[in-house]
Amino acid sequence: MRVVAAMSGGVDSAVAAARMLDAGHEVVGVHLALSRSAATLRESARGCCTIEDAGDARRVADRLGIPFYVWDMAQRFQRDVMDDFVAEYRAGRTPNPCLRCNESIKFTALLDKALALGFDAVATGHYAQVVERPGADGVVRRELHRAVDPLKDQSYVLGVLDADQLARAFFPLGDTTKPQIREEAAARGFSVAKKPDSYDICFISDGDTRGWLTSQLGEKPGEIVDAASGEVVGSHAGTYGFTVGQRRGLGLERSSLGAEPRYVVGVDAPSNRVLIGSADLLGVDLIAADHARWCGPAPAGEVRVGAQVRAHGEEIPAWARVDDTDPQVVHVRLDSRIRGVAPGQSVVLYDGPRVVGSATIASTDRAAAPVPTSA
């Protein structure tokens, strides 16, 4: 099989490419240039896609003896990931750019280009597993499952893949822990064996999301309002600097709030207000989500699932039902309330270790009957 190995310049994608080669595939390494003005060097473990990263990827490819190319996808990344990120925050939502990148760049733009050039599949260094199971009709279908290493599991950010994309995706690291990957990289003589992982948002290399958004959107002063009383208790420079569940960085005098901690309980972008309240206002157990993406057949009727709303968050037992009138909308009813769920985040649904699909949270609410709250 002819496979494009997406090589970021890190240790995970290096070992993934090597394993695909060991498995007998014809492998070509591809580094995605996602920035129009890539930095020369990484800033510690923040960010990625620098010129240094491209060089690291090329050295691994040379050691493996495979062809290596850099594909320029900066314009597509700007439009589908960065511009979307800004637009979501402008609208008062909290997006996950990693899911958008996987959906729009790595498993749409990259895969489409690979197929157009005659390749059969794409391999990445994500920590997840693809399990093949025969269906009742005898046809073997591919399922997306959690990785064996719960600390590195990335099935959440891959929940946007549909069945066709999953059929042409390989995740060679899903059965291995991160320490084992580093040991393997060292044994193979890869210079990236001890390279630190990248984290945070790749296009905000200093980790200052609020500052970056301010540079994109400018300051937009507004009011901070107590959700219970309606009293104006402070001011802000832009609603995009706040997300539901946030406690730090509110810029309020503790003495004016009383002894009880206050959290962001709502971001009202149209009125340019940030709503704050006590912790008991944060718990929700009803989620309505749109832009549904299914890793296989869409659920029929109300089904029992596990629901996860953060990349490394707790999985909550729940019921899920696709909307009767709009198949892109899914309704989720959690067994227990969970705090800090913001519109724009993704809810990923699981059946045991199998990823059922994902959707973007549009709104949250509380069931009439009280249920326990999960932190």
Q: What is the pLDDT of residues 121-165, one digit of tens each?
A: 999 999 999 999 887 777 888 999 999 999 999 999 999 999 999
Contact 273, 222 (CB under 8 A): yes
- pLDDT value of residue 281: 87
Better pLDDT: 312 or 267: 267
Q: What is the pLDDT of residues 323-366, one digit of tens each?
A: 999 999 999 999 999 998 999 999 999 999 999 999 999 999 98
- pLDDT value of residue 373: 59
Residues pairing with 274 in the sheet: 224, 267
Best CA proximity match to 339, nearest among 274, 264, 289? 264
Dist. CA 113–CA 117, nearest whole Å? 6
Dist. CA 141–CA 133, nearest whole Å? 5
Contact 105, 76 (CB under 8 A): yes
The residue written with tokens 């912790």 in the block is: 279
Parse the chain into domains and list their residue ranges: 2-187, 219-281, 284-374
Instruction: Compute φ and ψ for 56, nearest 5 degrees.
Output: -60, -40
Q: What is the pLDDT of residues 168-217, one digit of tens each?
A: 999 999 999 999 999 999 999 999 999 988 766 888 877 889 999 999 99
- pLDDT value of residue 92: 93
Could you give the percent of the chain with pLDDT greater than 70?
A: 92
- pLDDT value of residue 333: 97
The mean-pLDDT minimum among 26-30, 247-251, 349-353 falls in 247-251
pLDDT beyond 80 at 37? no
Strands 346-351 and 354-365: antiparallel
Q: Give whole-number Cα distances, 164 to 32, 298, 352, in Å.
A: 22, 14, 22
| Exposed / middle / buried, residue 353 (Cβ in 10 Å: 0-12, 13-18, 19+) | middle
Contact 288, 331 (CB under 8 A): yes
Q: Which two tokens stand for residue 201?
A: 């948002």
pLDDT beyond 90 at 260? no
Dist. CA 152–CA 345, nearest whole Å? 20
Dist. CA 287–CA 145, nearest whole Å? 23
Statement: 219-281 belongs to CATH 2.30.30: yes
- pLDDT value of residue 44: 45
Dist. CA 311–CA 313, nearest whole Å? 6
What does DSSP assign to residue 43?
B
Q: What is the pLDDT of residues 53-78, one digit of tens each?
A: 899 999 999 999 999 999 999 999 99
Mean pLDDT in residue range 18-47: 78
Q: How confident is the model at residue 249 (pLDDT cuts 50, 70, 90)?
A: confident
Catalytic residue of the set 48, 49, 98, 202: 202
Is residue 101 flagged as an active site residue? Answer: yes
pLDDT beyond 70 at 47? no
* Sign, Cα dihedral of 244, 157, 328, 107: positive
Q: Which value, in Å, is the radius of gyration of the alpha carbons in the chain?
A: 22
Query: Can you list the positions of beta strands (E) in 34-139?
Result: 68-72, 121-123, 129-134
Better pLDDT: 36 or 172: 172
In this structure, what is the dihedral angle of CA atoms 178, 15, 153, 141, given to the nearest 10 degrees?
-150
What does DSSP assign to residue 106?
I
Residues pairing with 235 in the sheet: 223
Contact 316, 335 (CB under 8 A): yes
Written as one letter, the residue type at 238 is: G
- pLDDT value of residue 45: 47
Q: How confident is the model at residue 41 (pLDDT cuts 50, 70, 90)?
A: very low
Contact 341, 287 (CB under 8 A): yes
Does the predicted TM-score (pTM) go above 0.85? yes
Statement: 2-187 belongs to CATH 3.30.565.10: no
284 Cβ contact list (under 8 Å, min separation 6): 334, 337, 338, 339, 341, 364, 365, 366
Architecture of domain 284-374: Beta Barrel (2.40)
Contact 347, 307 (CB under 8 A): yes
pLDDT beyond 60 at 272? yes
